[in-house]
Structure 1
Amino acid sequence: MKSSAHLRRRKWMVFRLVPFTAMAMLAGGCQQNKSMAAESSEKNAPSAVSNVRQVKATSVPQWEQMLMHNSGWLGADGIYCVALNGVEKSGQATASTETFLWFSDTIIGDIKGDSLQADWQMVHNSVGYLQGSTPDPKKIKFHWRKDEKGKAASMFEPHTPKAQPGDYYWLGDGFFNHQKDSTIYILAYRIKSLPGGVYPFEDVGVSLIAVPKGSRPPFTNHRQMDTPLFFKDSNGKGKVVFGVAVLANTVGAKAPKPDGYIYVYGVRGDKKELLVARVQDKAFEDFSQWRYWDGSSWGTDVHKAAALTSRVSNEMGVSFMEDGRVLASYQLDTNSPTVAIQTGQTPAGPFQPAKKIFETPEVYEDLDFYTYNAKAHPHLSKPGELLISYNVNSFDFIADIHKHPHHLRPRFISVKY
């Protein structure tokens, strides 16, 4: 028989061994659980790439559908717009906001079934008014003029000293000028027809259209003037056209860091180089006050203007981000499936490399379809996002407007930044 002392030693040894063994087993189990948890975590964890939000745009079909109509105004390209309170800050539009929109080539007529009726007409520009901040076909009204015979006519037709018979306007960007009695200014490209060729037209000048406060269609009291904003570059870099985008850096526009200047952007040559000019809002009509960014300072010689970037489009947008930087939005090389954006530190840059944010699917819907001239509409955008439109057209226009009578309409995308 074992002595009590011996039994106590065995109990102590068992007591010491059991906790040690249990602790070892527990530790081993914990280590195994940690290993399994780590393995499971590695399997279930998203990749580093998926943790980074992709800067990509998504389609916003509601805005496109707002522009789908079967009678009267059927479609157009070249869409620009301003809020009639002059506020361009992202997310500022409300149910009471009225937006003035202007378009370039516009189809007027009727569609029955899916067939464009034979009496359709095309005018070179039209306008519209949207009530509210959301796309609603019932809250947008379109306008165009009628001639003395009652036929559809362009809302604005050239009548400046340099205008020639047969010239017409496509409408560039514009802005609401708080310092000039709420006048809305629109830069208008003066175009003449050139029969034959893939693109049967040529731009020959830039005019300035001034729409007085409170003026409504047919704008009988609007003014037009020739400008020096169209010319051939003296350094052999090609044609220069200003008016592709306008940025109001003013208190009235609710810019984040207002300096009182209006920045007007231009495109130069086949490389589609982006240039910028600026002028105080109160001196907008005085072209002797305009200054051009030469890469280091604002000078008077437009021929020394520096390229901010290149491969932009003939119509585009430049808008503010909340932190004071700017976003340029455009169709890469004017006519392509690619919509791109670039971030600039200031309205005159420097700009980061372009980001391709969207590929337009419409180019694959028909052999002759092409997309072009993307641009942003900041005041209709949601905070932290940018609403961007792009145009759809056809190289075989007459045939396709009958086969696809709704195709000549802007499409819309939105990008979060």
Structure 2
Amino acid sequence: MNQTSKHNIIAASAFTFACLLMAGCNNSAPAQAETKEPLSLDSVSFTTEEAPEWSRLFKRTLGWFGGDGIFAVTRDGRENANASAGSETIIWFSDTMLGEIGPDGKLKPGYEMIHNSIAVLKGNEPDSNRINFYWPKEGGKNKSLFTPKTAATGVDEYYWMGDGFVNQAKNNDLYIFGYRIKDTHDGSPFPFKEMGNTLVVLPGNSQPPFANQRQIDIPFFLGKAVDSTGTFGAGILVNTKEAGAADPDGFVYIYGIRGQQKELMVARVEPAFIEDFSKWTFYDGAGWTTDLPKIRTVTDKLSNELGVMQLKDGRYALVFQEEGLGKFVGLRLGSSPVGPFGKVIRLFDCSASVADDKDFFPYNAKVHTVLSQPNELLISYNVNSFDFFNDVKEHPQLYRPRFVKVKINE
């Protein structure tokens, strides 16, 4: 045997012994699992495209032909992505236009506005044959579905509707946040003010016009200036196992907006105790407190309506209209339902939808989780005008939701 062969055998034996020794060491002291770097909160790979099939669903010429707001839940309370498949989706709107648009595209006389309405879509496809719109009539006159009737309600107040959820812990009752609004008639671009916050409760599986609805004053901001204190209901995340959450903790997270900077506040409560306001807790920047004055905002530059959806990678997508009335649909990524949230990521430029008139503006973008695919966000935004009652005659279909799809690249 030459020296080279002997050297190779010795080296191989040493290597084999070392491997056995390492294996023995591994058996007695397992190596720690590899720790992954946290995902970025400031960037994500995505593609955006318009969703004309969803926009067309709300482009109508008779009866309901426009509305803003737009929130959606499933009848059974499932809130996970694509939960609407094989289910019934309840969709509600705030200010709603009723009337007829002629073949020339102009609004016929006799149109009117009511303050809220509802639609029911069967399944998850934007099929005009599977959606119906509802609002009540009384004495031959069209009426709003929801009108304030609480102890705190003042004269001539009406509702704009916030987000809501089907409460599986309370007989599948539908809880919708209502903002009590009063017109100011002051000639300003926004001649109204918010007076208070309400919970509107619809019994499980009830049908329009919801004659058995209940209304409950939310006490936190009663008697205070809403502009400075804010209100809740801008968006909701139902983080329960029953709702289909990926990382459930048993709470419903209720988002609110405060101040001119559109800052985000967060409250949470177990669904079974939604009506017991002593059980609500508020995020103070470090944890949860029952002391409302200690609440702290967690991010800003949002809109009065928004949506939150958990992505497949675990991050939370907070979707909104940047700066309230800005031209971009914005996204902030969070590591939890309360953040921290990253910088604004611009998903879509709405400029083309408001190009017909200098008074048009987009607002209140949000993601509709129950109509979205697991890593594809279906997002709506609304279009309005600073000269609404003149512009709606010439552009009667301006006042309706538009939709885009944002695909998160894995």
1:355 aligned residue: 345
Which amino acid in 2 is paired with 1:366? D
Counterpart of 1:320 in structure 2 is 310
Distance between the aligned counterparts of 2:59 and 2:101, measured in 1? 11
Alignment match, 1:369: 360
Does the alignment pair 1:73 with 2:73? no
CA contact (8 A) 1:57 1:416 kept: yes
Q: 2:175 matched to 1:177?
A: no
**Distance in 2 (alpha carbons) for counterparts of 1:175 and 1:220:** 19
1:79 is paired with a residue whose SS is strand
- 3-state SS of the aligned residue for 1:375? strand
Q: Which has the larger radius of gyration?
A: 1
In the alignment, which of 277, 282, 295 is matched to residue 285 of structure 2?
A: 295
Cross-structure match for 1:224: 215
Q: Secondary structure at the match of 1:416?
A: strand
Task: Measure, in 1, the Cα distance between the counterparts of 2:197 and 2:320.
Answer: 20
What value does the CA root-mean-square deviation take over the aligned residues?
1.7
The aligned counterpart of 1:253 is: 243
**What do the CA deviations read for 1:273-314 (whole angstroms, capped 9, x no partner)?**
101000011101100000000011100122221221101100
Would you say 1:346 and 2:336 are equivalent positions? yes
For 1:244, the equivalent position in structure 2 comes to 234
SS of the equivalent of 1:303 reads: helix
Whole-angstrom CA distance in 2 between matches of 1:244 and 1:53: 24
SS in 1 for 2:169: helix
- 1:190 corresponds, among 180, 186, 210, to 180
Task: State the identity as a percent.
Answer: 42
Distance 1:223 1:59 in 2: 38
Residue 332 (structure 1) shift: 0.9
Partner secondary structure for residue 196 of structure 2: strand
The answer to whether 1:135 aligns with 2:126 is yes
Amino acid at match of 1:402: K
Say whether residues 1:414 and 2:405 are aligned partners: yes
Distance 1:208 1:72 in 2: 28
Give the total of aligned pairs: 363
Relative to structure 1, is the Cα distance of residues 244 and 229 closer, same or farther in structure 2, using a 3 angstrom cutoff?
Answer: farther
Which residue of 1 is the match for residue 33 of structure 2? none
Residue 395 of structure 2 is aligned to residue 395 of structure 1: no
Contact 2:159 2:179 in 1 (8 A): yes
Query: Residue deviations 1:223-276, cap 9 Å, x none?
Result: 001002436889x98231111001100111100011110100011111111010
- Asked whether 1:201 is paired with 2:211, we answer no
Which residue number in structure 1 is paired with residue 107 of structure 2? 116
Aligned to 2:50: 59
Q: Is the 8 A contact 2:156 2:182 kept in 1?
A: yes
Partner SS for 1:62: helix
User: What do the CA deviations read for 1:199-223 (whole angstroms, capped 9, x no partner)?
Assistant: 0111110110011111101100110
User: Which amino acid in the other structure matches residue 68 of structure 1?
Assistant: K
1:91, distance to aligned residue in structure 2 (A):
2.5
2 CA distance for matches of 1:243 and 1:383?
24
Separation in 2, partners of 1:287, 1:321:
30
TM-aligned CA distance change 1:233 to 1:201, over 3 Å: closer
Counterparts of 1:304 and 1:106 in 2: how far apart (Å)? 37
| Aligned equivalents of 1:111, 1:151: Cα separation in 2 | 19
1:159 aligns with 2:149: yes
Q: Could you tell me which amino acid in structure 2 is paired with residue 157 of structure 1?
A: T
Corresponding position of 1:47: none
In structure 2, relative to structure 1, the CA distance for the partners of 1:217 and 1:294 (3 Å cut) is same
Does the C-alpha gap of structure 1 residues 266 and 231 become closer, same or farther in structure 2, counting only changes over 3 Å?
farther
CA contact (8 A) 2:200 2:213 kept: yes
**Per-residue Cα deviation, 1:8-64 (whole angstroms, up to 9, x for no partner):** xxxxxxxxxxxxxxxxxxxxxxxxxxxxxxxxxxxxxxxxxxxx9853422111111
CA, structure 1 residues 314+232, in 2 after alignment: closer, same or farther (shift >3 Å)? farther
1:316 deviation in Å? Answer: 0.6
Q: Distance in 1 between matches of 2:383 and 2:220?
A: 27
Q: Structure 1: which 5+ runs fail to align?
A: 1-51
Q: Mark the CA change 1:233 to 1:352 in structure 2 (over 3 Å): closer, same or farther.
A: farther
Is 2:74–2:83's contact at 8 Å kept on the other side of the alignment?
Answer: no
**Alpha-carbon distance in structure 2 between the residues aligned to 1:128 and 1:399:** 27
1:35 alignment counterpart: none
TM-score normalised to structure 1 length: 0.84
| Paired amino acid for 1:356 | R
SS at match of 1:285: coil
Please give the secondary structure, in 2, of the residue aligned with 1:77: strand
CA contact (8 A) 1:231 1:239 kept: no
CA gap of 1:380–1:237, structure 2 versus 1, over 3 A, is: closer
Counterpart position of 2:37: none
- Whether the 8 Å contact between 1:336 and 1:372 is mirrored in structure 2 is yes
1:144-167 Cα offsets, whole Å, 9 max, x none, are 1112x3111101000001112210
Counterparts of 1:365 and 1:185, CA distance in 2: 38
Determine if contact 1:231/1:241 at 8 Å carries over to the other structure. Answer: no
Q: 2:380 corresponds to which letter in structure 1?
A: S
- 1:273/1:311 contact within 8 Å kept: yes
**Structure 2 runs not aligned, ≥5 long:** 1-42
